[in-house]
Chain A
Amino acid sequence: MRDETVFHHEVLAPDVDLYVAPTAKFKRTRVSFFVHDHLAPQRVALGALLPFVQKRGTRSYPTGEALERAAGRLYDAELLGGVHKFGDRQTLSYSLDVPADRYVGEPVFRQGLELLREMIYEPVQVDGAFRPDYVEQEKRFQIGRVRALVNDKIRYANFRCVEEMFRGQPFALYELGTEEAIEAASPAALARHHRELLESRPIDIYVVGDVEPERVRDELAQALAGRREQVQALSPTEVSAGAGDVRRVTQEEPMKQGWLVLGLRTDITRADPLRYGLQVFNGILGGFVHSKLFVNVREKASLAYTAFSSYNANKGLILAYAGIDVNKYQEALDIILRQIEDTARGRFSDEELDATRKGFQTQYRMRLDTVDGRILHHLGGELEGCPETIEESLVKVARVTREAVVEAAARTRLDTIYFLKGVS
Chain B
Amino acid sequence: MTKPAVKSYPALGQEVHEAVLDNGLRVVLLKKPGFQRKYITFSTHYGGMDSVFIRPGESEPTTVPDGIAHFLEHKLFEEPDGTNVLDVYSKMGASPNAYTGQYYTVYLCSLVDEFRRGLDLLLDYVQRPYFTDENVAKEQGIIEQEIQMGLDNPQRAAYYNLIEGLFHRHPARIRVIGTVESIRRITKELLYLCHDTFYHPSNMVVTVAGDVSFDEVLEIVAADMAPRGYRPRGPIVRPIPEEPRRVLEEEVETGMRVSRPYVLVGFKGRLDRREGETAREYHRRLIGAELALQAVLGKSTRLYWDLYERGVIASRYGYGLSVYDGAAYFYAAAESEDAGAFRDEITQALAAARDGGVDDELFEEARRREVGQLLTALDDPDWLVNLYVTHLFQGLDLFERRELLDEVDPELGREFLQEFVQEGQRTVSRVTPLK
Chain A residues within 8 Å of B, Cβ to Cβ: 23-28, 63-65, 68-69, 72-77, 97-100, 103-104, 133, 137, 140-141, 144-145, 147-148, 150-151, 153, 253-257, 288-291, 295, 298-299, 302, 304-306, 323-325, 351, 354-355, 358-359, 361-362, 365-366, 368-371, 422
Contacts and interface: CB of A to CB of B under 8 A. Distances in A.
B228 interface: no
A298 B112 CA distance: 27
Contacts of B141: 302
A30 to B, nearest CB: 10
B152 A63 contact: no
A258 to B, nearest CB: 10
Nearest to A361: B93
Given A257-B152, A290-B86, A75 B368 contact: yes
Interface string B135-161: 000100111011011011010000000
A144 B376 contact: no
Nearest to A64: B305
> 4 smallest A-B Cβ distances: which pairs?
A76-B372, A358-B93, A290-B90, A355-B91
B162 interface: no
Contacts of B36: 365-366, 368-369
Nearest to A77: B372
Interface in B67-107: 84, 86-87, 89-96
B125 to A, nearest CB: 14
B379 A27 contact: yes
Given A65-B300, A141-B315, A358-B91, A151 B376 contact: no
B341 to A, nearest CB: 15
B368 A289 contact: no
Interface in B11-36: 11-13, 33-36
A150 B434 CA distance: 13
A269 to B, nearest CB: 27
Given A27-B376, A151-B259, A359-B93, A256 B309 contact: no
Contact of B305 (A24, A65, A305): A65
A153 B376 contact: no
A72 B300 contact: yes
B113 interface: yes
Chain B interface size, as a band, is 35 or more
Interface string B104-116: 0000001111000
Nearest to B294: A72
B199 interface: no
A59 to B, nearest CB: 19
Given A27-B13, A75-B368, A304 B309 contact: no
A368 B34 CA distance: 10
Nearest to A362: B93
B379 A256 contact: no
Nearest to B210: A369
A103 B335 contact: no
Given A148-B258, A302-B138, 20 more contacts: A63-B305, A65-B300, A65-B305, A72-B369, A74-B368, A76-B376, A137-B308, A144-B259, A144-B335, A153-B149, A257-B145, A289-B90, A290-B90, A304-B145, A351-B91, A355-B90, A361-B112, A368-B36, A369-B37, A370-B380
B365 interface: yes
Nearest to B372: A76
Nearest to B365: A72
A323 B147 CA distance: 12
A289 B86 contact: yes
B371 interface: yes
11 contacts: A27-B375, A27-B378, A65-B304, A68-B299, A72-B368, A76-B370, A76-B371, A77-B372, A103-B12, A290-B86, A370-B379
Given A366-B110, A369-B36, A26 B379 contact: yes
A24 B33 CA distance: 10
B330 to A, nearest CB: 20
A416 B422 CA distance: 56
A253 B149 CA distance: 14
Nearest to B298: A72
Interface in B347-390: 365-366, 368-373, 375-376, 378-381
B273 interface: no
B408 to A, nearest CB: 16
Contacts, number: 173
Given A76-B368, A150-B259, A257-B152, A302 B142 contact: yes
Contacts of B148: 256-257
Contacts of A253: 257
Given A77-B372, A147-B259, A362-B94, A25 B34 contact: yes
B260 interface: yes
B241 interface: no
A418 B87 CA distance: 29
B85 to A, nearest CB: 10
B302 A366 contact: no
Given A323-B145, A362-B94, A256 B335 contact: no
Contacts of A73: 365, 368
Nearest to A145: B315
Given A72-B300, A368-B36, A151 B145 contact: no
Contact of B309 (A23, A137, A298, A365): A137
B314 interface: yes
B371 A104 contact: yes
A44 B257 CA distance: 27
A299 B141 CA distance: 10
A305 B371 contact: no
A317 B432 CA distance: 36
B111 to A, nearest CB: 7
Nearest to A302: B141
B371 A75 contact: yes
B320 interface: no
A366 B94 CA distance: 11
A140 B259 CA distance: 13
Nearest to A65: B305
A69 B260 contact: no
Contacts of B308: 64, 137
Contacts of B369: 72, 75-76
A58 to B, nearest CB: 15
A78 B378 CA distance: 16
B311 interface: yes
Nearest to B97: A289
B372 A362 contact: no
Interface in B386-415: none
Contacts of A359: 90, 93, 95
B314 A141 contact: yes
Contact of A151 (B84, B94, B111, B258): B258
A359 B89 CA distance: 10
A292 B427 CA distance: 45
B375 A103 contact: yes
